[in-house]
Structure formats: structure tokens, C-alpha cells
Amino acid sequence: MTDATSIRLLTLNCWGIPYISKNRSARMNAIAEKLADGEYDIVCLQEVWSVDDFKMLKAKAQECLPYSHYFYSGVLGSGICILSRYQIQDVMFHRWPLNGYVHKIHHGDWFGGKGIGLCRLKIKNIKVNIYVAHLHAEYDRENDEYTAHRVLQAFDTAQFIRMTKGGSDVVILGGDLNTEPQDLAYRIICGIGELTDACTNSSCFNQGTNECATNSYTGSNFARKKPEGHRIDHILYLGSSRYKVEVTDFKQPFPNRVPGKNFSYSDHEAIAATLKMTKGHYEVQEVDVRDSLKEALVICEAALVSIHRRRMWYLLLSLFLLILLILPLLLHLLLDQNSIAVTIALNVLRFLLTAVLCYTLFMSSIWNNVEKNSLKAGYLAMEMHLVQLNRNLANT
């Protein structure tokens, strides 16, 4: 008889933005009650933007999930955390260099300081690395301005897992990856990270986790266009030379509505998987990611061209604003210098123009260089990985 150990893992994007997310307090309490049922051994949560919400979730689930860790980062906190039945032995957080745009306040990804979190556990002498991540959101599927950011985050995630999994018996990644199975970012994470999707059959493979028609927060347009929604939340895993991993159950465990309420637990669906770990050699699925890396390099090249174009535009705008700043001085000389109203109006105009000028200069210099250097760093890392893959293939 084989000695096997099973763990039940759940991941959920909680949509917990203070003052913005609808029914946040009631939903968070409902999520906490579900976690307190004791059905899960490990829970990966995203968009827990309020530390008070995390403390409440931790307190309510304390009896069955006594160990937890919140990954602090950025201005608002990363929003990601892990709750566990098993003791957390070590933690680490890697913040992605590219995290959206600081001036896109309404998107807010940059302020979260997003990245990938790692908690190391020991489950019956099995060393398990639990990773949680929340990649940059896709705000416009038709014209996505964050494609390069998400692709580099995906590569960074896969590289981080590759370089920290040493010594572990089992690797598990849970989170809102904001990428579907056919997308480039998903292919990079699974291919380079050598990860397998816990969704093992066609019935769940096409079952969405966001913008589903059954979710109360899905707009009618999205519900009509694609009722099944988009599968962007994932549980991925990897065994080792010492332990095999098998999926024995995969499901969306939460009901469509919070009991007694007319709203869902979140605008995302929770997913849960039961993973059975047994002693033995895990066969890694060989995936050729060279074409995916080439596609990613093309996207980065286009992004670098776009960055240069934006820099030139901001510089031209800065020059135009400088000219406008000189005009009030001339007007002040030509108009009645004793007029208080004229003086106040010109000073207000001068202040506004100076503020906009500071913004354009910041965007054309400091911010432009930050984004450009981050893209170049990611580009070179992917290029090096591609060269190594080609070299390995040539030697076989």
C-alpha cells in the first residue's frame, strides 16, 4: 500500500478594495466563514487590500488555519496572503520591476507593489513550496496596453519559481494570473516553470473564473458575449525526483451567491484542488517554450519603441508648456499691473502650467528610464534563456 499525503488548496481573488468594491465587508465575512469550515489546508488569497480584512480573515479561520502570512509591499500592500493548516517555516517576496503606470491611478496596480510570494511548509516531512501571485490586470482585452508588463511578470514568476524550488519536494502556485490557458503569459509560466495545471479535464478547462454569467457582479454585456467567463485564476503544481503529485479533485467550491444574500462572494470564482503526494519520481512535462520566448521578445521590442515615442511626445509637450509659462510674464507686462484680479489669474495659470510641466518632465525622464530599463532587463534575461535552450537542444 502506497503511503500518500493529500492537501486541499483553495485560491480566490477577494476583490477587497476599500470604498470601491461592492458589499466588501459582507463578502469578506462570508469568505472568512467558508475558510473557518476547515475544508482547506492551504488558502491563497489575492486583492486583500485592507490589513483589517486580513486580520479578520486570520482571526475567524484561526482554529483550522492557525498559520498565515501577509506580503506587505508598495503603497497599498501587495494584496496577497497565505493561510495554512501547517506551520510556515520561511517566507520570501519578490516584487516585479514592471507593475503598471504610476499615473494610472484609476488602475492602481503600481500602488500595490505586486509580486510573487513564497511560503515554505513542511507537511509530514514533505517540503512544500507554496507560491501566490496576482499578475497585472487586463483592463481592455481589445487594446491591452499592459501586455509587455504581464509577459515580463510571467517570465519573472517562472524564473523565481525555478530558482527557489531547490530542495523542495512539491511546488504549488495559486493565484489570479490574469491570463487564460491560450495566452502567452500562461504558456511562459507553465513552460519555463515546468508547472502543470490542476485543471485536468475539458469540463473545467473551459469553466471561467471571472466575468461569468452566473456571478452577480458580471455586467450584462460580458454575460451575453461569453457566458462561461474567462479562466484566469489557476492552481499549478510540480513534483520532484522524490515525490509524485496527482490531482484527485478540482472544483469551484463556493455557491453562486452568499447564503441569504443576492450577491456573490467576489467578482472572481474560487477554485479548489486536492493534490495527492506520494513517494516516487515525478515526470516533468517537456514543453518547448522557444516560440513563446520569441513572441515575448517581439512584444518587448515593440514596447521599447513605444516608450521612446512617448518620451519624445512628453518632451515636446514640456517645450510647449515652457513657452506657455513665458506668455503670462509678457501678459503681465502688457496688461494693467495694478489689477489684483489680473495678477491672481496669471499666478493661478502659472501654478497650473508649472504643475503640468513637472509631470511631463517626470514622465519623460525618471519614469521613462525606469520602464525602459525594466523592459531591457527582462528582454536580456529572456534572450539569454532562449540562447541556453537552443544550446541545450543542439547538444542533444
Half-sphere exposure of 76 (CA within 13 A, CB side): 22
φ, ψ for residue 135, nearest 5 deg: -70, 165
* Strands 4-16 and 271-279, sheet pairing: antiparallel
* The three grid cell numbers given for residue 288, joined into one nine-digit string: 518547448
* Strands 88-95 and 81-84, sheet pairing: unpaired
Q: How far is CA 116 from the centre of its chain?
A: 8
Biggest alpha carbon–alpha carbon distance for the chain: 98
Neighbours of 289 (CB within 10 A): 23
Sign of CA dihedral 25, 28, 30, 33: negative
* The three grid cell numbers given for residue 320, joined into one nine-digit string: 510647449
Cβ neighbours for 361, distance < 8 A, ≥ 6 positions apart:
314, 318
* The three grid cell numbers given for residue 350, joined into one nine-digit string: 502659472
Instruction: Classify 91 as helix, strand or coil.
Output: strand
**Catalytic status, residue 308:** no
Alpha-carbon span 351 to 202, nearest angstrom: 60
Neighbours of 320 (CB within 10 A): 12
φ, ψ for residue 31, nearest 5 deg: -65, -45
Cβ neighbours for 4, distance < 8 A, ≥ 6 positions apart:
276, 277, 278
Q: Check 69, 94, 234, 268 and give the catalytic one.
A: 268
Catalytic (active-site) positions: 268
